[in-house]
Chain A
Amino acid sequence: MDKNVIFLEPLSPFLDDLRIKLEQEDDVIIFDVDSLDEYRQTVHILEKSVTFSSDFKQTQSYLEEFKGALDKADLKNYIVTDRDFPPHVVLKMRKLGLNDVLLEESGHEEIIHKLNSFFEGFDTDLEKEIGSKEKSSFDFEYKSTGQSQVIGDSSKQKLRKGKSFIEFKSISPFQNLKKFNTSFNSKKPPAKALLLFSDRPAEFHSSFQKKNVSPTNRPKLNGKLVDFNKPMDTRKGFIANENSSQQSLFSKKFVPFNREGLSKKPKLIDFSQGASWSNKRLIEFQGSGLVKKKDQNTEQKKEASAEDNLLILSNIRSQFIKDKAPPEYTKDILKKTPKKVIPLTEEEVLFFEGNCFGIEYLAYFNEIFLHKETKPKVIFKFLDMLIYKQWNGSVIFCVKKGESLIDIYSSTQDSEDFLSFREKISFPDSELLTISVPKWEDETFRIKTNRFYYPYFIDNDLKGVAIVFTNSDDFDHQRSKAVESFVMLARSLYYNTDDLL
């Protein structure tokens, strides 16, 4: 892997020397960057990189700007400085994404070591990845005396001396992992069997459990027993090019059966290196991907290695389940993270409950108002009813006559306590007559029994006032608007107040 190193200019003499040193390395690619824009372009192109800088302020600015982007495991940011920063400054910078502050006195070697260890880590990861790919494959090994060649996985070609064997590593048994998991039990004994058709999990499992492969206890392929002693070309899974005889078999090229699940093209196997086809040949299931030599004389070793393989498989399986399988929707999970359930719904339908804001009453009022025989008192009464229904309130409609107000309608005028009700209004007429805009007694709506004054002006002349008493805990600014919209509906009656008196 190429070691991408970015130097953020301006550089200190120490960093300059370091750059010169690194330039001499073959696998190091150096990028000199002197602006943030350039840095942005560079850092997004590179998959893995290490950034060195010596200017504190510039480092802080680029870290702040690329905070989201730099917060990755494959990017490292170092400040190389000749003095020690206070801990709180370092902490702040670390939060922004700085990995470390390196002192110049530590020398170039330490920095180069850090650089190498960072990139070597990825190399190791790559190897692991390759290894895990192997683990997820079922390998088959042909063994014979003499030279051997490992084929099947393009990422790993091996040449071994002493014994010849063949590996086929292109079948992924985890393609149908779900099925696989259902039948797989790590407690079950290991098996040594030919598993050619891994896309048949049931058959695979049944054969996998078998400890000893005896003539009567062999794995079946399409209902037929697999006979290991027969020449390879007669078995399913392999196609001999020309001759089916054992000797010619190794002089010709072998083509593994390209079935579903084999995404890669089959590789030609060359047996022309003097390997002889022996009756002792074995096809060994290598679940772990680790090539283990089969020794017929050491049965115990063989079993132990198979057990190891099984253990590794089990680990892979549990890891896979951990990574890929959806969480179980238990009661606890539901309580803790209820939102996790929501993605299950493909599309969410929201139902809104309509809020009319009192407009439906306007429709009722409109109907009454546009009736030919409707009288003013009916309108007042209807408005009174609305206010009572909505806020358990009451209303008084007054008309101005001279310098006083005369009640023309009151919610309680028919009852005995009308006078006391009227007396409750602490607002004297003189003050009521000075009201020029609609007004609430308590604009904060904290008191339960609030009062609303609505003056009726016709051509800038005050014609009367409506006083609304509300008696509701559930009252706010939003609802207060509806009161105003109700009371103003009586305005048409105030054009000619003489008719009302």
Chain B
Amino acid sequence: MIFYEFNIHWLEESKKSLSFDLFLYDESRKTRFYALERGDEFTEQIKLELERYIIKGAIIQIEHKDIHKFKIELEEFFPEFELLNHKKMILAENYINREKKKEALGHFNFSKELENVIEQKNSSVLIARCLEEILLFSFEQSQYQSSLIKIVEKSLQKKGVLQLGAAFTYFFSKRFGVKDELFLLELIVLFILKDIGLTQIPFEKRFESDKSDKDYNKHTMYSYYVLKKTEREFSERFVKILVDHHERIDGRGFPREKKGKHIHIGAQIIGIVDELFKDWSFSSEDFYKRVKKLSMDSSTGFSSELKTILASLQP
């Protein structure tokens, strides 16, 4: 894998001198190394060096105080090369150091960490870990995936129950055996947005849970309707899970009372996590009660595989 783009990173304003550093990303070594001496101006020699490294296919990080001026100069010199912003720079860096970072993250004991989170009533550890792992997906090769990452990135800024539920969905799905990164991303976004359709039913019914209520019954369809209005296209799988996340395999769900294999496994995952975190307020006892109930009770309408995974989370 070779990169032929270069990136610009600006210096802090406090640095008064006009200076920049050039770094190369060596594909073979998977490391960043210092390539050029610090320069005071964009000299011909620097230009030639840049040209040489760009041809070699390197990602070059340039730190420069007057970045706009420098960018103009570079664009004049290399009109054919796209100047990437800092975000893409991070993406590229993440991509290169992906394996190293994965190693650095090491083994993660989800059950144990969850226990700590619930005991300490602090969701930040789990959410941060989830974000960290998600950012390793930053080698995305599609617009759709990159959009999902951005949504997850922004949505997990806070450390509330909704975010904890999203992080839980991620680790729970992984434990269940989901390896597709795109699917994992979709599940997180789905958990966050699944109930946006509640904005289309009466305000006082937003905490309703009775499926016999006509308005509440429609909220999954409304969720799809609201998301569709954003003109953002989602995958067929995403829409299917969004609409079916209240369906149960015994046919007692809603809105269409689907049964068994007709319900996507993603919809079941979202459903079980939703049941777990609904109206929950960081009470450890309450949480494990719910876990026990959901994993033991046969009337919950979830598949036995999911229940087994859930039961294994108990301390």
Contact = CB atoms under 8 A, between A and B. Distances in A.
B195 A489 contact: no
Interface in A346-365: 346-360, 362-365
B203 interface: yes
B227 interface: yes
Contacts of A359: 147, 151, 189, 193, 227, 230, 232
A491 interface: yes
B4 to A, nearest CB: 5
B195 A357 contact: no
A492 B200 CA distance: 5
Interface stretch (B82-90, B111-119, B120-128): B82-90
Contacts of A488: 199-200, 226, 229
Contacts of A157: none
Given A354-B147, A354-B149, A481 B91 contact: no
Interface of A: 329, 331, 334-335, 338-339, 341-342, 344-360, 362-367, 369-370, 372, 376, 478, 481-482, 484-485, 488-493, 495-496
Contact of A370 (B143, B148, B198): B198
B26 interface: no
A492 B203 CA distance: 5
Contacts of A358: 230
15 contacts: A344-B55, A349-B95, A351-B92, A351-B140, A352-B142, A354-B146, A354-B151, A359-B151, A359-B230, A360-B154, A362-B226, A366-B193, A370-B206, A492-B203, A495-B202
A370 B209 CA distance: 13
B136 interface: no
B199 A492 contact: yes
Question: Top 9 closest A-B pairs, CB basis?
Answer: A338-B80, A354-B150, A354-B146, A360-B154, A495-B202, A352-B146, A363-B155, A485-B229, A481-B231
Contact of A356 (B85, B88, B142, B151): B151
A365 B155 CA distance: 10
B139 interface: yes
Given A356-B151, A359-B193, A488-B226, A370 B162 contact: yes
A354 B87 CA distance: 10
B1 A334 contact: no
A354 B148 contact: yes
A481 B229 contact: yes
A149 B230 CA distance: 86
B43 interface: no
A353 B146 contact: yes
A344 B145 CA distance: 27
Interface residues of B, number: 57
Contacts of A491: 199-200
A362 B230 contact: yes
Interface of B: 1-4, 51, 54-57, 78-81, 84-85, 87-88, 91-92, 95, 139-143, 145-151, 154-155, 158, 160, 162, 189, 192-193, 195-196, 198-204, 206-207, 226-227, 229-232
B2 A362 contact: no
Contacts of B231: 357, 478, 481-482
B150 A356 contact: yes
B230 A485 contact: yes
Contact of A492 (B85, B92, B145, B201): B201
B88 A353 contact: yes
Q: Which of A334, A344, A354, A493 has the most B CB atoms < 10 Å from its CB?
A: A354
A199 to B, nearest CB: 31
Contacts of B196: 362, 365-366, 489
Contacts of B198: 369-370, 492
B92 A481 contact: no
Contacts of A493: 203
Contacts of A342: 4
Contact of A345 (B57, B92, B146, B200): B57
A35 to B, nearest CB: 48
B1 A357 contact: no
A353 B85 contact: yes
B57 A344 contact: yes
Given A352-B140, A357-B230, A492-B200, 13 more contacts: A331-B51, A344-B4, A351-B146, A353-B88, A354-B143, A359-B232, A363-B151, A363-B155, A363-B193, A366-B192, A481-B229, A484-B229, A492-B206
Contacts of A355: 143, 146-147, 150
B31 to A, nearest CB: 17
Contacts of A334: 51, 55, 78, 80
Nearest to B138: A351
